[in-house]
């Protein structure tokens, strides 16, 4: 598991291994717009302010993924203990 911090509210949520970031955020009442939930449509694209995502999407180019400044919370996870999101 890993933690996600919401930069605007300071809320921190733990993302368990059997749930997505979108699901973990929904559980605390934070809705991220989604459509495909498979990493292909781009709807859930979210800015990353700190931490290193574990990109599992097919939407971004490898170059975009390497920037680590945005990720797809419907399917991607984290390589660092915490991700700070622009939410
Ligand atoms: Fe489609 Fe996340 S909902 S990429």
ipTM above 0.95, yes or no: yes
Confidence at residue 43, expressed as pLDDT on a 0 to 100 scale = 98
Mutate to test the pocket of ligand 1, among 43, 65, 73 (most ligand atoms within 8 A of CB): 43
pLDDT of residue 4: 98
Each of the 87 residues of the chain gets a pLDDT tens digit; together they read 999 999 999 999 999 999 999 999 999 999 999 999 999 999 999 999 999 999 999 999 999 999 999 999 999 999 999 999 999
Question: Which residue, by CA, sits nearest to atom 4 of ligand 1?
Answer: 39
CA of 38 to the centre of ligand 1 (A): 6
Ligand 1 in reach of 34 Cβ (< 6 A): yes
Q: Global pTM?
A: 0.96
Query: Following DSSP, what letter does each residue of 23-83 receive, concatenated?
Result: HHHHTTT-PPP-SSSSSSS-TT-EEEEES-EE---SSS-HHHHHH-SEE-TTT-EESSSEE
């Amino acid at each position: 598991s890993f933690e996600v911090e919401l930069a605007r509210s300071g809320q921190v949520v733990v993302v368990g291994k059997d749930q997505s970031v979108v699901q973990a955020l929904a559980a605390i009442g934070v809705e991220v717009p989604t459509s495909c939930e498979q990493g292909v449509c781009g709807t859930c694209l979210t800015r990353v302010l700190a931490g290193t995502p574990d990109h599992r999407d097919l939407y971004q180019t490898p170059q975009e993924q390497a920037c680590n400044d945005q990720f797809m919370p419907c399917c991607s996870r984290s390589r660092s203990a915490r991700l700070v999101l622009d939410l």
